[in-house]
């Protein structure tokens, strides 16, 4: 049952325009038909279409691509390529149903923009009381999960990678903590950038460095002729799950779907055909498939979990790959840090006097960074345990939540298409999400057990 429109309170700063029906009485449906949320966004520094594409590409293109050849060893060449395109399509589909449902809700309720958690709560408000309660619970859970998403794993990666290269090449014996504290200096300035528009150059540099890594890796791959002899084409029942886990988590970037779309100057370019999301995942599917296939063809069953481990360890090119990876992650931290800091600031902002807004936001970002630095220096093997948390929560966030939003919003009017095909599709996606959750959790637990054996 929908709530009466007159009882809805608009968000702060949103002006409700009077809309009258033919009989002179305003209605929520009439208001929705006349209202375009995209025209009512008030953005001080919107991001261009090209800038958003750079962010979207960087959010899903990380150093995880170096693990894809190892995943192809589990998935096989034919299944590996087909599976990569399927998983990229699945990530794109999740973004589509989230953003399109959010737009329809904004249009109906005359709200310019909604975040991830707000979209979930609003979608559930169209259901029965029990679903409405679930919506409030999910919104709080999503907000807190995204807010507590840390950059500590990335800080540790940058510090330890630089330690390995610099200590090996120079003979120094500096500790991990020393390098972590040193990289904290540039990170301090990067994390103080508050607008996505000004983070575009950092994402562009990070993306360029990752592409440079791929090119250098291909130099090693193509040093000898490639042969398909004894190369697996399809997975076994025991290896399909590890393949899915590596490739899916390398492609997933659900937490940045709304922050990027909500800051666009032309949000209509985000979805559609071709659209930023579609074009991004097509490019990523081609790149991941090519790199994974040729890497597996080159090294076969001896390919490691990261293809760098197959290269000569004394080579300067290998050291350059490691340094480029560290610097790429360093330049990515600003984009990763944006989501939790913005959610935390949204909760703190109502309690801060207007004249102290700038200082309070800077202090909040500094405090969050300090906590991450302390955790990076003080908690050994934290990344392994964060991997367990991500393997459990990411399928929920990336697959189950979009399915809940789409299903609950369509449920009152049963708008599921002919033969309820959308409902069947959502059920299949939910089962696949359960499969990823179980297999990812098992793999992470095995890593933790191996760590302490």
- Residues 220, 75: contact at Cβ < 8 Å? no
Which stretch, 60-69, 145-154, 426-435, 436-445, has highest mean pLDDT? 426-435
- Residues 115, 400: contact at Cβ < 8 Å? no
Distance CA 129, CA 133 (A): 6
Q: Which residues of 255-273 are buried (b: 16+ CB within 10 A; e: fewer)?
A: bbbbbbbbbbeebebbbee
Distance CA 441, CA 8 (A): 41
pLDDT in tens, 183-239: 999 999 999 998 888 999 999 999 999 999 999 999 999 988 888 888 889 988 878
Reference 102, options 274, 231, 260, 314; nearest CA is 260
Examine the pLDDT at 12 and tell me if it is beyond 50. no
pLDDT of residue 411: 84
Examine the pLDDT at 80 and tell me if it is beyond 90. yes
Distance CA 58, CA 260 (A): 12
Distance CA 331, CA 392 (A): 27
Question: What would the DSSP string read from start to end of 311-370?
Answer: S-TT-HHHHHHHHHHHHHHHHHHHHHHHHHHHHHHHHHGGGS-GGGHHHHHHHHHHHHHH
pLDDT of residue 387: 65
pLDDT of residue 146: 82
- Contacts of residue 111, defined as CB under 8 A and 6 or more positions apart, other chains included, come to 10, 11, 14, 37, 105
H/E segment holding residue 421: helix 421-452
Distance CA 244, CA 252 (A): 12
Examine the pLDDT at 1 and tell me if it is beyond 60. no
Examine the pLDDT at 88 and tell me if it is beyond 80. yes
pLDDT in tens, 327-381: 999 999 999 899 889 888 988 888 988 889 889 999 999 999 999 898 888 876 6
- Residues 256, 47: contact at Cβ < 8 Å? no
């Amino acid at each position: 049952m929908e709530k009466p429109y007159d009882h809805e309170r608009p968000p702060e700063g949103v002006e409700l325009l009077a809309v009258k029906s033919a009989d002179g009485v305003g209605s929520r449906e009439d208001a929705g038909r006349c209202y375009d949320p995209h025209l009512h966004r008030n953005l001080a520094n919107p991001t261009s279409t090209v800038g958003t594409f750079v962010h979207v590409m960087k959010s899903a293109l990380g150093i995880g691509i170096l693990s894809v050849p190892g995943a192809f060893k589990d998935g096989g060449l034919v299944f590996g390529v087909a599976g990569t395109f399927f998983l990229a399509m699945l990530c794109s589909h999740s973004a589509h149903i989230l953003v399109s449902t959010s737009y329809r809700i904004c249009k109906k309720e005359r709200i310019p923009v909604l975040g991830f958690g707000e979209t979930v709560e609003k979608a559930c408000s169209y259901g029965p009381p029990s679903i409405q309660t679930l919506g409030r619970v999910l919104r709080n859970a999503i907000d807190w999960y995204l807010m507590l998403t840390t950059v500590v794993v990335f800080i540790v990666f940058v510090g330890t990678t630089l330690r390995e290269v610099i200590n090996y090449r120079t003979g120094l014996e500096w500790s991990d903590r020393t390098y972590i504290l040193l990289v904290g200096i540039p990170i301090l300035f990067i994390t103080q950038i508050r607008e996505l528009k000004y983070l575009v150059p950092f994402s562009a540099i990070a993306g360029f460095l990752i592409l440079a890594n791929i090119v250098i890796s291909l130099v090693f791959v193509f040093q000898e002729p490639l042969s398909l002899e004894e190369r697996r084409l399809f997975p076994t029942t025991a290896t399909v799950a590890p393949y899915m886990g590596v490739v899916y988590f390398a492609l997933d970037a659900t937490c940045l779907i709304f922050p990027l779309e909500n800051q666009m100057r032309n949000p209509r370019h985000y979805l559609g055909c071709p659209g930023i999301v579609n074009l991004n995942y097509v490019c990523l599917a081609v790149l991941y498939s090519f790199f994974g296939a040729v890497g597996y063809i080159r090294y076969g069953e001896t390919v490691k979990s990261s293809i760098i481990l197959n290269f000569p360890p004394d080579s300067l090119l290998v050291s350059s790959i490691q340094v480029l990876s560290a610097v790429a992650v360093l330049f990515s931290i600003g984009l990763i840090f944006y989501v939790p800091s913005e959610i935390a600031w949204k909760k703190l902002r109502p309690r801060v006097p207007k004249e102290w807004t700038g200082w309070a936001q800077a202090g909040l970002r500094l405090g969050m960074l300090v906590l991450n630095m302390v955790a990076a220096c003080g908690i050994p093997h934290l990344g392994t345990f964060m991997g367990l948390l991500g393997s459990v929560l990411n399928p929920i966030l990336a697959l189950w939540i979009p399915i809940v939003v789409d299903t609950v919003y369509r449920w009152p009017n049963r708008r599921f298409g002919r033969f309820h095909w959308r409902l069947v599709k959502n059920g299949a996606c939910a089962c696949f999400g359960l499969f990823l959750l179980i297999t990812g959790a098992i793999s992470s637990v095995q890593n933790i057990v191996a760590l302490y054996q």
